[in-house]
Amino acid sequence: MGAGPGDPELITLRGWRVLQQADVVLYDSLVDTRLLEDLDAELVFVGKRCGNHHMPQEEITELLVHFAFEGKRVVRLKGGDPTVFGRTGEEALRLAQFGIPFEIVPGVSSAVAVPALAGIPVTHRGLADAVCVLSAHRQEHDPELSIPLYHPRTTLVLLMALQTVETWTPQLLARGYPADLPVAFVCAGATERQRVVVTTVSRAAADAQAAGLGSPALAVVGRVVGLRDRLAACERTAHWRRYEHPRQVETREEVCAL
């Protein structure tokens, strides 16, 4: 299940309903723990951050099998959308191997929501008609990213972008991306701690370091970054609303009335 990025209100209605029915919740480090308050469920932290894995992926997957064999309703709660670099396929294949029934509950992906909340739509008529989402997290033995050749109407969104910025910026230049093409780093997106730094391809590494940015962070590369000056008013960090649990709703009419 995807919890959405940052703000706990970005979880889907389906996700919220399923979460209320869970016997066990295995949750990641990017999940806002306010979503877990008052749940009648066993909570198991299995968070993984760059260079700090609380629990190996193999152990997480086996925990899903273990709890399922105990007859429990298990929620594997991930930030953003679970299928976007969330290891969903690996976990689901293991469940399928044992004939364990499961449901994938989509979430709002940080790849599009976090830039939007920073005043950067990833597509815009006349500027960008394509989006490429990449993981910037690399293994030491495989530093090459799947960066496409430059096209002025394509927006790149690099998730987990901060730790490897000195690796992917030269790769952008080598694939024809202009040195002065805008780049925006968005850290702690969709939270009250959100920070945005706008720079260029050639200055990205130096400016990210100078700003003292921290994880989680993504980078948006492309001409749409130039829209931020006019759209930044949509950033929600200045007037963040207090989170409250949504009440249980059962009918279409009740959903429409919210």
For the segment 12-61, what is each residue's pLDDT rounded down to a tens digit? 999 999 999 999 999 999 999 999 999 999 999 998 765 555 789 999 99
- Give the domain CATH number at 33: 3.40.1010.10
Q: Report if residue 214 sits inside a domain.
A: yes
Helix (H) or strand (E) holding 25: strand 24-27
Q: Are residues 100 and 115 in the same domain?
A: no
Q: Are residues 217 and 120 in the same domain?
A: yes
Q: Are residues 34 and 114 in the same domain?
A: no
User: CA gyration radius for the chain?
Assistant: 19
Question: In which region does residue 188 sit, left (phi positive, over 0), alpha (psi from -120 to 50) or beta (all else)?
Answer: left
Helix (H) or strand (E) holding 26: strand 24-27
Last residue of a domain, one of 75, 108, 141: 108
What is the DSSP secondary structure assignment for residue 72, as one 8-state letter?
-
23 is catalytic: no
Q: Are residues 163 and 128 in the same domain?
A: yes
Beta-ladder partners of 130: 154
Q: Are residues 123 and 218 in the same domain?
A: yes
Q: Report if residue 13 sits inside a domain.
A: yes
How many helices and strands, by DSSP H and E, does the chain display? 8, 10
Spot the catalytic one: 7, 23, 32, 48.
48
Q: Are residues 124 and 225 in the same domain?
A: yes
Q: Are residues 32 and 60 in the same domain?
A: yes
Q: Are residues 98 and 115 in the same domain?
A: no
Spot the catalytic one: 7, 28, 32, 81.
28
- Tell me phi and psi for residue 254, to 5 degrees: -70, -40
pLDDT block averages, 10 residues each, the chain of length 258: 96 97 97 95 86 79 97 98 96 97 98 96 98 88 88 98 95 98 97 95 97 96 96 57 50 48
Q: How far apart are CA 119 and CA 113, in angstroms?
A: 10
Nearest to 211 by CA among 188, 179, 228: 188
Residue-wise pLDDT tens digits, 170-192: 999 999 999 999 999 999 999 99
Helix (H) or strand (E) holding 45: strand 42-45
Supply the pTM of this predicted model. Answer: 0.87
Q: Are residues 66 and 115 in the same domain?
A: no
Q: What is the structure's pLDDT at 258?
A: 47
What is the separation of C-alpha 123 from the centre of its chain, rounded to a whole number of angstroms? 18
Residue bearing tokens 């989680």: 216
Q: Number of folded domains in the chain?
A: 2
- Tell me phi and psi for residue 246, to 5 degrees: -70, 145
| Parent domain of 133 | 110-234
- Give the domain CATH number at 132: 3.30.950.10
142 is catalytic: no
Q: Are residues 143 and 219 in the same domain?
A: yes
Q: How far apart are CA 258 and CA 247, in angstroms?
A: 10
